Amino acid sequence: MKRFSLKYTLLTYRLDQLWFPLAFWAFFVILTLLLNDQEMNFDIARAYIGVAIPLIGGFMAAYAILDDPAIELRFATPIRAAQILFERTFLILLVQAVCALAFILFALLIGVDFAPLGDSLNLHLAWIVPTVAMIALGTFGAILGAQTMIGSFLVGLVWIIEVIIRDAMAVNNWKYAYIFMGILNPEHPDLVANQLALFALSAAFLFFTWLLLHRQERYI
């Protein structure tokens, strides 16, 4: 079996998967500098790392595999489905991680206090958990429907619904699927259970995506 090819992955990596998250990063940086208010700066930083980053990651994931211009060639080579899945989703997570860490550093330099979100571990889990969940959802939706639009639609739908009914999500049985709990309700007593449930759900989405990728004729 062909091993992980970093060179191939980078050569076929679409530039819009790079400038799209960077454009959002620049927008939030400029917005923060223009407002120049300590309280609002915290809200903007929280919104970017915990709400915008997952959305962007989910959209990118929906287009990561099926939008590969050489997808037929990829499927024609003796390459494992798990490798294709790992190569594309890991790069998306890496790009989002760089954007999130860079913004956190920028926010700290201008005096933003992230103490309300807890310690350093909780701060990073607040964006890592929802980002992984949305990447998994976007990938699963695209592969399940054999269309990139299906994946992006599911990501957008879940994101909008959870933003609108975020207060209800935190208090009923849906709290374990509440992707914004870590960033919007960091003091919630069920936060750890929520994060474990989201990681498990993400793993389930990726597992079923892996199974579906074995039927490669659906995507050619």
Nearest-10 crossing angle of helices 53-64, 81-109: 160
Share above pLDDT 90 across residues of the chain, in percent, rounded to a whole number: 64
Tokens 């490669």 label which residue? 216
- Greater confidence (172 vs 4) lies with 172
In whole angstroms, how far apart are CA 33 and each of 112, 113, 167? 12, 16, 30
Instruction: Name the pTM for this structure.
Output: 0.89
Domain ranges of the chain: 6-219
Kindly report, residue by residue over 33-89, the tens digit of the pLDDT: 998 788 899 999 999 999 999 999 999 999 888 876 666 666 666 677 788 888 889
Q: For 112-163, how does the pLDDT look when each residue is reduced to its tens digit (9 = 90+)?
A: 999 999 899 999 999 999 999 999 999 999 999 988 999 999 999 999 999 9
pLDDT band at residue 174 using 50, 70 and 90 as cut-offs: confident
Asked whether residue 191 carries a pLDDT value surpassing 70, the answer given is: yes
